[in-house]
Amino acid sequence: MRLLCFFLSILIYLPVSRAAEKLRITCIGASITAGARTADPSSDAFPAQLQQKLGHQYIISNYGVSGTTMLKKGDKPYQLTTAFESALKSEPDIVLIDLGGNDSKAVNRPFLSELESDSREMISRFAALPSHPRIILLLPVVSFRTDTSGIWDPVIVKAIIPRLQQAAWKERTEVIDMHQLLVNRPELFADGIHPGTEGSHIMAERLYDVIVQKTAPGFDLFRKIDTGKKISSFYGYDCAEFTIDGRNCKVVKPKQAAPGKPWIWRARFWGHEPQTDIALLERGYHVVYCDVIELFGNSEAIGYWNRFYALLQKAGLAKKAVMEGMSRGAVYALNWAAENPGKVAAVYIDNPVLDLKSWPAGKGKFKAWPKEYALFRTDYNLQTEEEVDHFHGSPIDKIRQLVKGKFPILILCADADEAVAPEENTLPFAEKMKAAGADVTVLHKPGFKHHPHSLPNPEPIVNFILNHNRH
């Protein structure tokens, strides 16, 4: 009888215990949060779909109010609604803030200079709650409307998002880029501004990953870099700037490092088309850069990078880096990889220069680039045109060294590239690498020229990196 009572007491206790462990998620936002243009907002708004994915261990409360603004002087300020007061009383463990789209309307633009301070005020109100919630600021989704007086995407991109990122940086708050998530999916926006049920599903999928994402608690790379660094903002993330051997270096840290402390190494053109870097920061990657321009991946550049790599290893990053090279950056990335094949996890290169005789020397389809060609010859001590003709220091000449690393390579290739000929760079390089047994994927961009690099929605690039760099 006593044993039966013991088991009954456990059964009675378990539901209470589990209920006490449930995490409360409070969703702040306007019409997209409320579920406008979904089939049934009660089940199809992104907070409702997020609840379905997270399950019974979470309690999600939707405080979305259509038409509201982050701006306190906007035409319908969220902070003046009863929903805001209710949200503050909800004892949240996690707060999702999805505001900013309505702030891009012409009627609200005169007050955009106050957007950062108003955002910081809202964040601080939640941060001061006794529950000390995790706060996640969502950047507004894309608008496909062409009415310049309404919710207009150029204003979202140029005026709203930068201010929200700055607010997140100053308040030490997580920030998730929902804009790039759907920027290539206009078919999901029946009215041009609301993503509907399917788009809300994609938003819920992304937020689910954010909420359940594993981290490496307590890891702070900056504490281990003692080089007189200064801290700035890189799209809402801390960026440490310092020098090694006179070369400018940058290291951006995520809000929370992912297990294994993964990282991506930008070889050239810091901050250009940064969407992949930002997406990886959201997922716990560090982003690093060491300026070795314009050395074209010669032995001097490799020496600087070896010392930079040693510093990052001492600070605790993963042994293997993901290399990222746009245009001539591919030369830097792959020449270093050829010398250090065991230190590379994966490579992403974009409209890449892979044969320096093709670019900048102009020994093929396109003419030489005089300034860069002169630097290239100086860097490699090439005195005559004949020496250039017999140069074998490009990535396309280092197939044997590169395949030793057994790392996968993703190449974005603009088929109408007018600066770096694909038939002299990407195509023969990929063919030779595959013949040698390498894992090379070429993602073609038909009709595209050398610019723009990357993709508006970098999901294919990010998935490639995540799938080939698991820790």
Please give the model's pTM, rounded to 2 decimal places.
Answer: 0.93
- Note down pLDDT in tens along the chain; length 471 residues: 444 343 333 333 333 343 457 999 999 999 999 999 999 999 999 999 999 999 999 999 999 999 999 999 999 999 999 999 999 999 999 999 999 999 999 999 999 999 999 999 999 999 999 999 999 999 999 999 999 999 999 999 999 999 999 999 999 999 999 999 999 999 999 999 999 999 999 999 999 999 999 999 999 999 988 878 899 999 999 999 999 999 999 999 999 999 999 999 999 999 999 999 999 999 999 999 999 999 999 999 999 999 999 999 999 999 999 999 999 999 999 999 999 999 999 999 999 999 999 999 999 999 999 999 999 999 999 999 999 999 999 999 999 999 999 999 999 999 999 999 999 999 999 999 999 999 999 999 999 999 999 999 999 999 999 999 875
Element (H, E) at 226: none
Report the pLDDT value the prediction gives residue 20, as an integer from 0 to 100: 58
Straight-line distance from the first to the last Cα atom of the chain, in angstroms, rounded to the nearest whole number: 50
pLDDT in tens, 369-389: 999 999 999 999 999 999 999
In contact, 90 and 59? CB cutoff 8 Å: no
CATH superfamily of 221-467: Alpha/Beta hydrolase fold, catalytic domain (3.40.50.1820)
CATH of domain 16-212: 3.40.50.1110
pLDDT in tens, 179-209: 999 999 999 999 999 999 999 999 999 999 9
Q: How far apart are CA 297 and CA 330, in angstroms?
A: 9
Element (H, E) at 428: helix 426-435
Q: How far apart are CA 87 and CA 319, in angstroms?
A: 44
Report the pLDDT value the prediction gives residue 11, as an integer from 0 to 100: 36
Other CB atoms within a 10 A radius of the CB of residue 323 amount to 26
Burial profile 394-415: b = 16 or more Cβ within 10 angstroms, e = fewer: bbbbbeebbbebebbbbbbbbe
Q: How far apart are CA 60 and CA 53, in angstroms?
A: 11
Per-domain boundaries in the chain:
16-212, 221-467
Report the pLDDT value the prediction gives residue 99, as an integer from 0 to 100: 98
> Going edge to edge, which strands form the sheet with 58-64?
58-64, 23-29, 94-98, 134-139, 174-177
Report the pLDDT value the prediction gives residue 165, as an integer from 0 to 100: 98
Residue with tokens 């300026």: 291
Q: Is 371 left (phi over 0), alpha (psi -120 to 50) or beta?
A: alpha
DSSP H helices, 176-315, are 196-212, 275-282, 299-315
Report the pLDDT value the prediction gives residue 471, as an integer from 0 to 100: 57
